Each structure stands twice: as C-alpha cells, then as structure tokens.
Amino acid sequence: MKLPFSIAKFKQIVFIGLFSLGFIALGLGQTSVSMKVDSANVMIGDHIKAEIFINNATQSISELDLSSFASIKNIDYEHDTTRYEKTADIEILESQGWNIDHSSGSWILRKMDNKGTSNVIPIVFSIYNEGKFAIKPPKLLQDSTNVVYGPSTIIEVHLPQKLTNPNDTIQLNPIKDIMKTKANFSDYAVYLYGLLIIA
C-alpha cells in the first residue's frame, strides 16, 4: 500500500504543528495589559472613563505605575507650538478600589485591599488642554517580566464649539466725523482780558 505522502513529509508536518502550538501556548501564557476608553473625542475637562485590562497575571496585582500619564506628549504640538501645549495636563479623578500615590512625583496606583486578582480596573480621568494625546497602558510593578503592553489609545481633546467659532451679536455703528462747534466770545474773553491788563 502506497501512502499519499512520505514519512519525512509527515514528520515535517508534525514538527511544524508542535512548533506552532508551542508559540501559541507561549503567547497565551504571557501577561498582557491593555486599556480601553469610552470616548476618543472629548472636550476639555470631560470625564474620560477607562478600563485597564490585565490578563494572565502570574500573581495578584496590587500596584500599577501610571507615571506615563504625567508626561503624555501632545501630537498636535509638533504642528503648532503656539496653540498647543507640549504635554497633557491630566488628572486622575476616580479609581474604584485603588488609591493614587503622588508622593515624590510618582503616579503609583495601589490597591486598597489585596484580596484576589482584578482583571478589569476602572479609572476616570480628565485632560485640561487641547490636542491629540496617545495614552499608553500603565506598567505592572510586581510582574514586570514577560509582559505584553497593548497599543496606545488616541484621545482628541477639543475646545467647546462656542469658543472655537463664536457668534458675535454685537453690532458697532460707524464712526462719525468730528463735530465742529461755533466759536463764542466767552471762549476768547480770558485772553482779551489778559491783553488789556498787560497793556
């Protein structure tokens, strides 16, 4: 009986299959951190709700490093340095079950109770200047080896429409010519009396 393929070809297919399964298992075993926001177009000061997703963590996560939030670059600054600021003026408003430590200039998000692992961490933040910002997911402090970080999230922050395109309702009247008044004797009387006294 003749086989449709050779033993060598069969070994090659099995080797490639096992090799592929190894890479898939390696990829599934990695810890990944990603972030999703509720809106990519907001106005200055709007609350932006974000969710930080942590998958396949090897240990309980109790600290996240948000220091990248302190220096988020404004993409529009490269095109117009007079209108836009260089970095985002950002503030973390709320983080359910987590505290923010701003001591010594750090932005560390610490879990209040270390019970269990949390896969989704909701936070609320605001940006107070105009522009386009690429926000990276936070870094893990405990499980820092072999972590895959998701792509940056682009958020565009705009001024309110009334400020960018104001409707001016004030109408100015045209400037009138200077009015000419007739000369009176009383306008020159002081000078005439002065001349009479001197003379």
Could you tell me if residue 3 is inside a domain?
Answer: no
| Domain containing residue 138: CATH number | 2.60.40.10
For the segment 65-120, what is each residue's pLDDT rounded down to a tens digit? 787 787 888 888 888 888 888 888 888 888 877 777 666 556 776 675 544 455 78
More reliable by pLDDT, 11 or 98? 98
Could you tell me if residue 18 is inside a domain?
Answer: no
Could you tell me if residue 141 is inside a domain?
Answer: yes
Could you tell me if residue 130 is inside a domain?
Answer: yes
Lowest model confidence (mean pLDDT) among 14-28, 46-60, 154-168:
14-28
Task: Enter the tokens of residue 48.
Answer: 């932006």
Could you tell me if residue 199 is inside a domain?
Answer: no
CA distance 37 to 1: 62
More reliable by pLDDT, 116 or 193? 193
Number of domains in the chain: 1
pLDDT at 115: 47
Could you tell me if residue 2 is inside a domain?
Answer: no
Q: How far is CA 117 from the centre of its chain?
A: 27
Q: Range of 44's domain?
A: 32-161
Could you tell me if residue 61 is inside a domain?
Answer: yes
Could you tell me if residue 94 is inside a domain?
Answer: yes
Going by pLDDT thresholds of 50, 70 and 90, the confidence category of residue 4 is: low
Helix, coil or strand: residue 106: coil
